Chain A
């Protein structure tokens, strides 16, 4: 009886087990010849790009979404006044005709908008849409508290004429132009069909939530609830559909207003499919089997092991570049052990940073000595590095008064009359295997020299809470920056140590404070670079952090895509196109 069950089961296994994923439409063309054929120089439209997304976007509302996946998708659908030149990283106009006029006192910014911009529904974009977009951000009832915070300094916005807007800010800050230029333009008639915000001014919105008009509440309610799965903007790609947990699909807009115009990024690929695969291994398998075309992030292990075969290199090309982040060990400068800068410097000497990059990152990274993005002009390349030198480290510790007086294998010292062993806890957050490895490697090395460190892995929210409340001895963390101009005030100024600010290690240095304050008001880029050189030298001497490394990012792209280039900010899929002869997917792009 049981045999009768097993036979069909085995048959099923044989039948379906050996299948592979096929693609619909045209029979697959042999892709192996990509490398050999000549590629024409004029880009062709067509084909699909299937991108890997590690997690589903939480929602596709341009203002209330705050996760990385939604930002990536929405970046193709919406546009802003200014954008950055991919090569020079300078601000340049997109929806605006030119960079804004800035008043003498640096408080007023005036932008003129292009007259030929159209939204995806065909309607022209005017100053009214821009003003609406600003109101939506400033509205305290819209669920975007983390976006709104950037605009705290904006106190008024007025339309001078249908295509000109004037912004008034509270205090001079050289990054204001970039913030204002980055406002995403939303079509008013789509996001506020009843024009509820028509008679509300920006000044009205500065009031507390209780004093706001009924219309504002109605608008915010509607905006928060009903616009999470159907974005509409002015960008080159239109939202098509979203299968939750699986895929978001964008379709090229053939009537894109920027088509054929100089200085505007042109779209070529017909469809962008953001395919969600939560597991990195599964994603690599899908890449290799043809279900994905582009993986933005390959794990170091995959780079070194899973992507070396001849077949892989025939079909895919790997690109390496640096992301503007850095990882560090943060010492609690208020902790009795780490108050002494000699101890902190000793720790840096005891950390084999080069070996960590080699073994834990498989060589995909660079050791850094300061908090500025490695590739920005402000980074001081002349700083001498701290080599891995346990002898020097131990000498510094001895100088600071640490030795093993009781023979238990752990260094100790008398602080305030009590014998304190050199024992501390490094906190890390769960979910990050690389940082865990870094902490464990450090632990192992320190143990050999009589330093009893331990590791505690905590859930992110608990971890962050401890960090902000300064409840830690040491942490391994990273900072994520942008490739734009740095501003270190938030992390290094002593005022930011209170109130759960970003200066979690309680670093205090009067000269650094001075530099950081003057820097913000300095509009001359050269002078800023000089100031920051001094800043980095002070940090180098005091080692409030042990700066570890900047990680290298490796992406894999299917070879049929042309114009794939590495820019300071990474790759730009919008530029990519596939020659007609090698296009894999065929679809018709219907104009609406």
Chain B
């Protein structure tokens, strides 16, 4: 087992380098100069009002100084090497926007994104698995057809549409006010509130974002679960179990379920890399200070260190996810030993 793990980790190295290189090249080769944004006083000011007459002046010298300070005037490969070297000491550098430690910014926002995604995964699994099981055990029944159709419909609803409709119709504005239009907590959230009150407040704010994040998940997963269970149900050994006289319940829940859950495990692992990209839209629309929003803003502000750091974090998460999923698969599926499917 140890040898297998070591082998996998070694194989991950080129992947890791590949990802970071791609991220680096894209950020650097894209036109545009972060010094310019600093000079303009940040993105909001720049896009909004225009160039400040007072601030122009002989600012180029100041920008050159700023660029030198961050090593942006060195050739590309040197910059990449410096960045990789810093990586090994876990120092992601300082953000161009506000000179705060990038790692600090990420860890500050990580809990929010994690919370959002964990809840979403939980909701997806809690809804999809039972739904899939029911569909598989009562195939082509009315309920099955309805849930299939619903799954398709949910799959096709674009996230941007659902989120916009939510904001327009039920988050205040001209129609109904059922949920807050954004943020994590109410304005006057106070640490003196009772635990229950805090939980209620957070739930109210996170309800819509979590639902929006998960609806296509539970559509997809329930279909996948159904298909997987149907496949297992057709296997010979299930017939054998039934013939042996075992109750249907026992057959389904003891034998079939365990075997059909196997592929679902792999899906879990692929959710990890989606942490950053998946929530960009939701976090932007609902003003949730998470990693997705950080990523989007950092791209627009050309905050190279932060974007690179997010790329790297995402890459590491993915690789870990794949590794975990393979290990879990090895553990759960007796046909697979050390990552190799037995013939």
The answer to whether A and B touch in the complex, with CB atoms under 8 Å apart, is yes
Find out whether the CB atom of A17 lies under 8 angstroms from the CB atom of B179: yes
B286 contacts which chain A residues (CB < 8 A)?
282
22 contacts between A and B (CB under 8 A): A5-B130, A64-B99, A66-B39, A67-B42, A67-B44, A143-B66, A145-B62, A146-B39, A146-B62, A149-B57, A149-B62, A209-B65, A224-B99, A246-B185, A246-B289, A247-B187, A279-B285, A284-B173, A461-B32, A461-B37, A480-B52, A481-B54
Shortest 6 CB-CB contacts between residues of A and residues of B: A478-B50, A145-B62, A431-B47, A285-B172, A245-B289, A461-B32
Residue-by-residue, is A64-102 near B (CB-CB < 8 Å gives 1, otherwise 0)?
Answer: 111111000000000000000000000000000000000
Find out whether the CB atom of A477 lies under 8 angstroms from the CB atom of B51: yes
Residue-by-residue, is B90-126 near A (CB-CB < 8 Å gives 1, otherwise 0)?
Answer: 0000000111100000001100000000000000001
Please report which residues of chain A, range 15-34, place their CB below 8 angstroms from some CB of chain B when the two chains form the complex: 16-24
Find out whether the CB atom of B183 lies under 8 angstroms from the CB atom of A481: no
- Chain A residue nearest to B289 (CB atoms) is A245
Smallest Cβ distance from A533 to chain B, in angstroms?
20
A259 at the interface (CB under 8 A from B): no
- Chain A residue nearest to B57 (CB atoms) is A149
B329 contacts which chain A residues (CB < 8 A)?
none
Residue-by-residue, is B34-51 near A (CB-CB < 8 Å gives 1, otherwise 0)?
Answer: 101111111111111111
Taken together as a complex, chains A and B put the C-alpha atoms of A501 and B167 apart, in Å, by 44
CB-contact partner of B98 in A17, A23, A58, A277, under 8 A: A58
A286 contacts which chain B residues (CB < 8 A)?
181, 187
A490 at the interface (CB under 8 A from B): yes
Smallest Cβ distance from A63 to chain B, in angstroms?
12
B172 contacts which chain A residues (CB < 8 A)?
282, 285, 288-289
A332 at the interface (CB under 8 A from B): no
Smallest Cβ distance from B37 to chain A, in angstroms?
6
Question: Hey, which bits of chain A sit against chain B, CB under 8 A?
Answer: 1-2, 4-5, 12-13, 16-24, 50, 54-55, 58-59, 64-69, 140, 143, 145-146, 148-150, 152, 209, 224-225, 228, 244-247, 273, 275-279, 281-282, 284-286, 288-289, 291-292, 306, 323, 325, 327, 429-432, 459-462, 464-465, 477-482, 490-491, 499-502, 585
4 extra interchain contacts, Cβ-Cβ under 8 A, other than A17-B204, A143-B66, A247-B187?
A: A55-B42, A277-B287, A286-B181, A429-B47
A490 contacts which chain B residues (CB < 8 A)?
53, 56-57
Find out whether the CB atom of B50 lies under 8 angstroms from the CB atom of A460: no
Tell me whether A479 and B53 are in contact in the complex, defined as CB-CB below 8 angstroms, given that A55-B44, A67-B45, A145-B66 are known contacts: yes
A292 contacts which chain B residues (CB < 8 A)?
187
Smallest Cβ distance from A52 to chain B, in angstroms?
11
Smallest Cβ distance from B38 to chain A, in angstroms?
7
Residue-by-residue, is B225-258 near A (CB-CB < 8 Å gives 1, otherwise 0)?
Answer: 0000000000000000000000000000000000
B56 contacts which chain A residues (CB < 8 A)?
490, 501-502
B50 contacts which chain A residues (CB < 8 A)?
325, 327, 477-480
Find out whether the CB atom of B43 lies under 8 angstroms from the CB atom of A460: yes
Residue total for B at the interface (Cβ-Cβ under 8 A) = 79
Find out whether the CB atom of B59 lies under 8 angstroms from the CB atom of A461: no
Find out whether the CB atom of A18 lies under 8 angstroms from the CB atom of B178: yes
A285 contacts which chain B residues (CB < 8 A)?
171-173, 177, 181
B169 at the interface (CB under 8 A from A): no
Find out whether the CB atom of A67 lies under 8 angstroms from the CB atom of B41: yes
Find out whether the CB atom of B36 lies under 8 angstroms from the CB atom of A16: no
Highest count of chain B CB atoms <10 Å: which of A276, A282, A306: A282
B51 contacts which chain A residues (CB < 8 A)?
464, 477-480, 502
Smallest Cβ distance from B8 to chain A, in angstroms?
37
B204 contacts which chain A residues (CB < 8 A)?
16-17, 19
Find out whether the CB atom of B32 lies under 8 angstroms from the CB atom of A58: no
Find out whether the CB atom of B31 lies under 8 angstroms from the CB atom of A465: yes
B133 at the interface (CB under 8 A from A): yes
B340 at the interface (CB under 8 A from A): no
